[in-house]
Amino acid sequence: MRKPILIANWKMNGSLHSNQALLVRMLAKLRPFRKAVDIAICPPFPYLFQVRDLLGYTGIALGAQNASSAVSGAHTGEVSATMLEEMGCRYVLVGHSERRASYYESDTDVAARFRQVVSAGMTPVLCVGETLEEREQNETLAVIERQLRAVIDTTGISSLAGSIVAYEPVWAIGTGKTASPGQVAETHRGIRGFLENCQRGAGDSTRIVYGGSVKAVNAAELFQSEEVDGGLIGGASLQAEEFSAIGSALTGAKPDGSSDSFPPESSGLAIPDS
């Protein structure tokens, strides 16, 4: 049985002040889901320390949005996987389409970053997905298999099976366009079949989450297929109500609306595990 996971990708958003306000509201609202679902928050690098402190002992994990393909040394602007692990990160996004498209991260580069995350003892969240043009040319699975193959060739199928795969169609990210539940289920099934062909059991054990304009209004239908093990949430993870409603859709539990003001937004306190 694969445990569902909900991952917040804050991208390049936030400030010390807004992060605190958001997390205090979010932690209270997420309380009902914490046992049924794994939850991770991936803030920008400068806020890892702050978010780690606010998460405290809530059981909600810290994640990062990328890691260097190098171990250490003269790589100005990069952050190594061991640094992230030292900061308390448990998950690291790898190969997000915004990194692939805007910062020219190739499949090989992504695979090298994936390897560093695994070596540092964290769980990579490998983002894969096709552009609109590729989908229209029926190349969706071929593109995703190429992206998966690069990682398998570098670290092996066992490492990939122990990680999380995030299916994020490029055309659905930040656009308000969502893949239909049928398209999501079909693509996840294709990914699972590919992994299973690489190694028996790998398809069954790998958590595959969907990302791309997931919101409170569409979460339940996107998560209805048993192929979907959770979500990687961008814009909607910047609003406590939206994010917790997505958690509710994933688990069937109701968000905790009664705890809006606990702890007070000004307190800076993490909410202890109950």
Catalytic residues: 96, 168
Stretch binding ligand 13P (CB under 6 A), from 71-79, 102-110, 137-145, 209-217: 209-217
Matching residue, tokens 């308000």: 176
Among 233, 246, 249, 250, binds ligand 13P (CB under 6 A): 233
Min dist CB 105 to ligand 13P, Å, is: 14
Report the C-alpha gap between 222 and 224 in whole angstroms. 6
157 half-sphere exposure, CB direction, 13 A CA radius:
15
Q: How far is CA 56 from CA 27, 61, 118, in A?
A: 11, 9, 24
Stated length of the chain: 274
Q: Does 212 bind ligand 13P (CB under 6 A)?
A: yes
Q: Does 67 bind ligand 13P (CB under 6 A)?
A: no
Report the C-alpha gap between 9 and 247 in whole angstroms. 14
Comparison of 216 and 236: residue with beta carbon closer to ligand 13P? 236
Q: Does 255 bind ligand 13P (CB under 6 A)?
A: no
Question: Which residue is nearest to ligand 13P, using beta carbons?
Answer: 234
Report the C-alpha gap between 163 and 181 in whole angstroms. 23
Min dist CB 231 to ligand 13P, Å, is: 8
Stretch binding ligand 13P (CB under 6 A), from 24-32, 84-92, 129-137, 167-175: 167-175
Q: How far is CA 159 from CA 115, 132, 152, 236, in A?
A: 9, 29, 8, 30
Please, are residues 147 and 113 in contact by the beta-carbon 8 Å criterion? no
Query: What are 7's strand-pairing partners?
Result: 40, 232
Nearest CA-CA partner of 67 in 37, 91, 39, 88: 91
Please, are residues 113 and 64 in contact by the beta-carbon 8 Å criterion? no
Q: Does 234 bind ligand 13P (CB under 6 A)?
A: yes
State which of positions 7-26 bind ligand 13P (CB under 6 A): 9
Q: Does 124 bind ligand 13P (CB under 6 A)?
A: no
Q: Does 214 bind ligand 13P (CB under 6 A)?
A: yes
Among 159, 213, 244, 251, binds ligand 13P (CB under 6 A): 213
State which of positions 80-109 bind ligand 13P (CB under 6 A): 96
Binding residues for ligand 13P, rule: CB under 6 A, are: 9, 96, 168, 173-174, 211-214, 232-236
